[in-house]
Structure formats: C-alpha cells, structure tokens
Amino acid sequence: MALSGIQIYQLLPKTNCKECGFPTCLAFAMKLAAKQVSLDLCPDVSEEARAKLAEAAAPPVRPITIKSNGHEVKGGNEVVLFRHKKRFFSPPGLFIRVYDTQSADEIKAKVKPVDEYVVDYVGMDLSMGGIAVQANGGDFGAAVEAVREATKLPLILIGSAGELKTGLEKLADDDTPLLCHATSENWQEMAELAKEYDVPLSVAADNVDEMVDLVKKLGDAGLKDFVLAPTQRSMLGTLTVNTTIRRMAIQETFRPLGFPIINFPGDVGDPIREVSLAMQAIGKYGSFIVLDNFEKATAYALLVLRANIYTNPQEPIQVTPGIYELNDPGPEDPFLVTTNFSITYFSVANEIESMGIPAWLLVTDSEGMSVLTAWAAGKFDAEIIAKDAKRFGAPDKVTRKRIILPGHTAVLSGELEEELPDWEVKVGPKEAVDLSAYIKNVL
Ligand code: SF4
C-alpha cells in the first residue's frame, strides 16, 4: 500500500540538510508521496529505508511480460478493482493453444491465421497475443520449433520441467515465454528451470491458501516473476478465485497474490463455453487467456470487448481532425461534416465507404466528443466548422461547394451559411446509416 507523506518522513534522516533541494525532510517526503520526485535526491537515506520505500511504491499487481522478437504481452500493473475508479492498464493477451501430438504441418496451419490476424477497430489495430504449446506425450521440442517457424508471437509453454527444457532450447535468446506450471509436486525443478532461463513461472493450485504457500516457497527459492494459475474451470469457480486473488492484491496489498492471472477457457472442450469463459476472464482479472479454438468472428468479439474495457474511460478514442477522402472523391462531390470521436467518425466513414459513394469528410476538432455532446459543450458550432473547413483547405478541394451537417445539428445551418457564404449548407440525416440513401436520393 502506498505510504503517506508522514510515513515516508519517518523513514528519512530528518536532518533537514537541504541537499535534496527542499527546505526540510518533511517537504521532500510530501513530494515523494505525490510521486513528484525521486528518492535518489536524498544522499543520506539508509538502505533499509530505501528497501521499505521501494516495496511500498511497487504496484499491487506485479507487472509480468511475455515477449519475443519485438512482440510482447504484459500482465499486471493494475491498481484498481473497477475500471470506473481509474482505468485498467494491461489488456489481457489471447493465446491459441497447440499440442505437441499434432504434426508440424497441423501446428503451422493452426498458428498461421493467428499470426496474421489483425483487425482495425475504431482506428486501433487489434491482434492475438500469442501461442500456447502444450505437452501431451509428443515431441515438445519439435512442436515449439514448428510454432516458431510460423510465428514470432510470444509463447506460453505447458509441460513438465524436462519437456519445457527441450522447448526452451529451441527459442532465441530474446524470447521470454511463460512456463506452466509450478505445483506442490514439482515446484523445486520448475523453480530451477525458471531461474536458469530467467523467465516467469505460473503457479497452479486448487485453492488460494495452497497458492500462497507455493508462491512463498518459490520466492524463498529466489524467484520473483509469477503468474497465478487457478485450477478452477467453471464460470463460478473462475470468477470467485480470480476476484478473490485480485481483491487480496489490490485492497489488502497482499503480495503473495499480487501477480497476473492465467485462465484456460480452452480446457472446457466446448467452443461456446470457451468463449463465455474468455469473456468473463477479460472482464474479471485474467491477464493471459488460453483458448483452443481460433475463429475470426469470436476473436473479433473478444478483442473488441477487451478494447472497450481496457481503454482509458477518461480519454475518448479520437481520430485526427482533418479532411478524409472516401472512395476517391472529386471536385463535384459533397463535404460531410462530423466530429473526431472515433466511433462517430467510423460510423460515417464505414457507411459511405461500404456503399462506394465518393465524398469528402471534414472531421472537426471536438476533443473526442460525439456530435450531440460536442454541440452541447460548445465544441461543434458553425464557427468551429467554418474555421476547420478553411484551416484544412476544404474550399480548394471542390468546385461545387456543398456541405452536409449532421441531422441532429440542423439548428446550426443558418449560422453556417453566414460563416461560409459561398457554400450550399444542407442538413443530412440524423443517423449515419441513412447517409448513403440521403446522398443518392436528396443531393
Ligand atoms: S537530502 Fe535527505 S536528509 Fe537532507 S533534507 Fe532532503 S530528505 Fe532530508
């Protein structure tokens, strides 16, 4: 838990020597508590105090990164239980699992579409996190090799210590996979392996007490980077244990449970339940989510759900203000106007583009607000539209000057005619879905 200024002050030398640039130790402590300065500014702080302050400053959920070849999936680093209290920081990675009993060709055929899958969602590129390779009595090293021939995405390796070692030997030096799992039976050998390769280790246990016990033992063995792997697979069981772990980490700053969580919806063996469990894990504290089935439709749904939960609620998703060309417009084509809230922009742009209608789209700077919100807040009025039209060079793009207002802001048409006297101002439909019919039939 974060320390108060007074608690930090108790750990400082209290000599008021001013070498940190502050008149007193208390003033420095207050700045430290507000995270506005670094402890390094005080040359006299003891090692013991430094360690205590570092411990207090550590995030309640330790960040763990799985990475390879420039790709990475981060888990942890969360500071709240509920997104509306601040925001979530580390979007969970979706991993598709292959088995070492599959042939190299089967593995590559499954991995390739995962590797290539990138989908645009309101201006963000969404993609899968990586591949999980599970030992199942086959040739684990060969399976890892086949995966690596098909993708450079991060890996989760699941098997015994011996099997995992054969897989690790196939990986490049910059690969940092997650090893699964240390249990009460094998934790010593798994600890040795994780230490040898300097990679994070998942800790599997049937209940929270057993998990805490294992994390402590592994910590005493010198490991720091864990991912918690509850063995529950039902909706209720997963929800209960994930929530318990995260509550203990954030509300109680209980360090043995202060790690990201890995969930295995793929274990249920039913594609529909798998998706339901994955959705739950995205919403409730899963950081690494292992699936057996990859379908573009379900991947898109899961990634969009994740995007909606993990974007910062205090910062609207925006596109850059300017003039966008839809379907290669010419000087006779109309100008549509909208705001730079991403969802508004894409609603309009997608509708026009999908119908193949050429048009210009003027996107004004409304600080990421939708049309009605921006209008109500004074960020989308005739003066702003006219100013942005001129600033972005709209008059130079067309010979037939027609500008189409969103239907909900029909009230602006008179003022806009005054601001843009050379232009024909028209009022479009209220909904983007009606735009193509409006352009075809009314213009
Ligand atoms: S340098 Fe350290 S001891 Fe000196 S005033 Fe600052 S906090 Fe206090």
DSSP string spanning 55-108?
A: HHHS-SS--EEEEETTEEEEE-----SSGGGS---SPPEEEEEEETTS-HHHHH
How many angstroms separate the CA atoms of 182 and 24, rounded?
A: 49
Residues in contact with ligand 1 by the CB-under-6-Å rule are 12-13, 15-20, 22, 25, 28, 42, 44
Half-sphere exposure of 242 (CA within 13 A, CB side): 27
19 CA distance to ligand 1 middle (Å): 6
The atom of ligand 1 lying closest to the CA of 19 is 1
* Pairing label, strands 288-291, 335-339: unpaired
| pTM for the predicted model, two decimal places | 0.81
Q: Which of 22, 32, 36, 37 is the best mutation target for the ligand 1 pocket, counting ligand atoms within 8 Å of the beta carbon and taking the most?
A: 22
Which residue shows structure tokens 């793929």?
A: 266
- Right CATH for 322-441 from 3.30.565.10, 1.20.1090.10, 3.40.50.11600, 3.50.50.60: 3.40.50.11600
Residue 53: predicted pLDDT: 84
Cβ–Cβ < 8 Å for 140, 182: no
The atom of ligand 1 lying closest to the CA of 13 is 3
Give the phi and the psi of residue 300 in degrees, each rounded to 5. Answer: -60, -45
Q: What is the CATH number of domain 64-310?
A: 3.20.20.20
Residue 440: predicted pLDDT: 83
Other Cβ atoms closer than 10 A to 424: 13
How many angstroms separate the CA atoms of 178 and 441, rounded?
A: 58
Give the phi and the psi of residue 430 in degrees, each rounded to 5. Answer: -75, -30
Cβ–Cβ < 8 Å for 61, 245: no
Residue 279: predicted pLDDT: 98
How many angstroms separate the CA atoms of 278 and 93, rounded?
A: 11
Per-residue pLDDT of the chain (443 residues; tens, 9 = 90+): 567 889 899 999 999 999 999 999 999 999 888 777 888 899 999 998 888 888 777 889 999 999 999 999 999 999 899 998 889 999 999 999 999 999 999 999 999 999 999 998 877 899 999 999 999 999 999 999 999 999 999 999 999 999 999 999 999 999 999 999 999 999 999 999 999 999 999 999 999 999 999 999 999 999 999 999 999 999 999 999 999 999 999 999 899 999 999 999 999 999 999 999 999 999 999 999 999 999 999 999 999 999 999 988 888 888 889 999 999 999 999 999 999 998 899 999 999 999 899 999 999 999 999 999 999 999 999 999 999 999 999 999 999 999 999 999 999 999 999 999 999 999 999 999 999 889 888 77
Determine the angle formed by the axes of helices 187-197 and 161-168, rounding to 10 degrees. Answer: 10
For residue 321, give the DSSP letter. Answer: -
Cβ–Cβ < 8 Å for 39, 18: no
How many angstroms separate the CA atoms of 114 and 107, rounded?
A: 11
The atom of ligand 1 lying closest to the CA of 41 is 1
Residue 165: predicted pLDDT: 97
Q: Which of 11, 18, 20 is the best mutation target for the ligand 1 pocket, counting ligand atoms within 8 Å of the beta carbon and taking the most?
A: 20
Alpha helical stretches, state H, 252-341: 271-283, 296-310
Residue 171: predicted pLDDT: 97
How many angstroms separate the CA atoms of 414 and 421, rounded?
A: 10
Cβ–Cβ < 8 Å for 27, 6: no
306 CA distance to ligand 1 middle (Å): 45
Cβ–Cβ < 8 Å for 134, 155: no
The atom of ligand 1 lying closest to the CA of 18 is 5
Q: Which of 6, 44, 45, 50 is the best mutation target for the ligand 1 pocket, counting ligand atoms within 8 Å of the beta carbon and taking the most?
A: 44
How many angstroms separate the CA atoms of 229 and 264, rounded?
A: 9
Fold of 5-57: 3-methyladenine DNA Glycosylase II; Chain A, domain 3 (1.10.15)
335 CA distance to ligand 1 middle (Å): 62
Residue 304: predicted pLDDT: 96
Query: Nearest CA to 394 among 360, 356, 417?
Result: 360
Cβ–Cβ < 8 Å for 139, 116: no
| Class of residue 421 by CB neighbours under 10 A (exposed 0-12, middle 13-18, buried 19+) | exposed
Domain boundaries, the chain: 5-57, 64-310, 322-441
Determine the angle formed by the axes of helices 271-283 and 296-310, rounding to 10 degrees. Answer: 10
Distance from the Cα of residue 209 to its chain's centroid: 30
Q: Which of 28, 36, 50 is the best mutation target for the ligand 1 pocket, counting ligand atoms within 8 Å of the beta carbon and taking the most?
A: 28
31 CA distance to ligand 1 middle (Å): 12
Ligand 1: residue whose CA is nearest its atom 4: 17
How many angstroms separate the CA atoms of 429 and 435, rounded?
A: 6
